[in-house]
Amino acid sequence: MGSSALVFSPYDREVLEPYLPPRTPANHGSLPFSTLTFATSLDSAISLSPGVQTILSGPESKAMTHYLRSRHEAILVGVGTVMADDPSLNCRLEGITLEQQPRPVVIDPVVRWDVAKSKCLSLAQQGKGKAPYIVCIQSNPPFGQRKALEAAGGKYIYMGFEDAMTDDGFRFGWNSILTALRDEGLHSLMIEGGGSIINSLLVPPEVELISSVILTIAPTWLGQGGVTISPERKEKQKQLRLQHPKWHPLGEDIILCGTLRADRGNWLQQHSK
Ligand SMILES: NC(=O)C1=CN([C@@H]2O[C@H](COP(=O)(O)OP(=O)(O)OC[C@H]3O[C@@H](n4cnc5c(N)ncnc54)[C@H](OP(=O)(O)O)[C@@H]3O)[C@@H](O)[C@H]2O)C=CC1
Ligand SMILES: Nc1nc(O)c(N)c(N[C@@H]2O[C@H](COP(=O)(O)O)[C@@H](O)[C@H]2O)n1
């Protein structure tokens, strides 16, 4: 995504409002309000292949993504995404102060990402975003990286080893991740990707941790071999269906909002026009 200041209209803001975190966090003990949001093709791909950044959002939905960034206290991505994209993970909406910038959070269990060389840290050093929090198991990340990260206001968040080892490597439970972020004082979280992060959340019981879903659907097919969103189907699992869906066209894309949690239904109905 480019670097010029973006504008998102008051009308479009109002359409999204019921699906966004409350402006004043209600309960300090609860887990962060978590919005799952990403851009997908018509064949459910979020990139052409692992490790390749693929622009799907048009200018209008890109501005929406930056509005969402301004409305959450943190943006979460997996290490696969930062290694592939070297993203900025800041908000480039017109008039945003440093205080209003979201905190980037990167799930990087064995510290594969060299944060010291990242665009995200460089932007934090320039006061154009916040330095990331990196969620990992390792207790001694490379000294130079830790020094650079901490000097800019970021940190490593260490998770316990218990229950984290799986056939795929270290995997923290989502409840533990969200608890750790709540303990860092983060009340709302925008989960952007990538594929493995999103797919692991779209299965029970993790799906209950998602407060809202806001998708950008771009009118394009990426074809086979991409990173796709297609969660594992567990035996006897019910179909996973978005509740209270709202479709909203933005430029050439369409935005699909909804919820996956039964207890959000009443709240959404009250706040939807
Ligand atoms: N279109 C869009 O909106 C978006 C597209 N993307 C695209 O997605 C692609 C990247 O997706 P993908 O390759 O799946 O990578 P991810 O960003 O999903 O990162 C995956 C890695 O994160 C770590 N991880 C994930 N879940 C956990 C967990 N529960 N506990 C501990 N570690 C965990 C693992 O690291 P380890 O391997 O070290 O164990 C895993 O391999 C890129 O091409 C990017 O461009 C990304 C975001 C948005
Ligand atoms: N909303 C959206 N649309 C796309 O087309 C995308 N490729 C992405 N990708 C996500 O945005 C990150 C890039 O952010 P910066 O512009 O560098 O801040 C990328 O890493 C993905 O998380 N999103």
> How many angstroms does the Cα of residue 245 sit away from the middle of ligand 2?
23
133-136 sheet: strands from edge to edge: 155-158, 133-136, 103-107, 74-78, 188-193, 33-40, 212-217, 253-259, 243-250
ipTM, two decimals: 0.99
pLDDT recorded at residue 233: 86
What is the atom index within ligand 1 of the atom nearest the CA of 171?
Answer: 30
Q: Do residues 166 and 200 lie in contact, with contact meaning Cβ atoms separated by under 8 Å? A: no
CA nearest ligand 2 atom 14, residue: 87
pTM for this one? 0.95
pLDDT recorded at residue 81: 98
Residue 192 φ/ψ, nearest 5 degrees = -95, -30
What residues does each domain of the chain span?
49-231+239-271
CA nearest ligand 2 atom 13, residue: 87
Q: Are strands 33-40 and 188-193 parallel, antiparallel or unpaired?
A: parallel
Which ligand is in closest contact with the Cα of 119?
2
Whether the bond into 194 is cis, omega within 30 of 0: yes
CA distance 163 to 172: 7
pLDDT recorded at residue 164: 75
> How many angstroms does the Cα of residue 83 sit away from the middle of ligand 1?
9
Q: Do residues 121 and 132 lie in contact, with contact meaning Cβ atoms separated by under 8 Å? A: yes
CA nearest ligand 1 atom 22, residue: 78
Residue 63 CB neighbours (<10 A): 22
Show the tokens assigned to 180. 């750790």
Q: Do residues 121 and 81 lie in contact, with contact meaning Cβ atoms separated by under 8 Å? A: no
55 Cβ below 6 A of ligand 2: yes
Show the tokens assigned to 98. 């440093």
Mutate to test the pocket of ligand 2, among 16, 113, 192 (most ligand atoms within 8 A of CB): 192
47 Cβ below 6 A of ligand 2: no
pLDDT tens digits, one per residue of 104-134: 999 999 999 999 999 999 999 999 999 999 9
pLDDT recorded at residue 71: 97
CA nearest ligand 2 atom 16, residue: 1
38 Cβ below 6 A of ligand 1: yes
CA distance 108 to 137: 8
Q: What averages of pLDDT result for each successive group of 10 residues across the chain (273 residues)?
A: 77 96 81 97 97 96 97 98 97 94 97 97 98 92 96 96 77 95 97 97 94 98 97 83 96 96 68 59
pLDDT recorded at residue 85: 96
Exposed/middle/buried for 181, CB within 10 Å: 0-12, 13-18, 19+?
buried
pLDDT recorded at residue 269: 63
Q: What is the CATH number of domain 49-231+239-271?
A: 3.40.430.10
CA torsion 246→32→83→109, rounded to 10°? Answer: -140
CA distance 166 to 214: 30
Q: Are strands 227-228 and 45-47 parallel, antiparallel or unpaired?
A: antiparallel
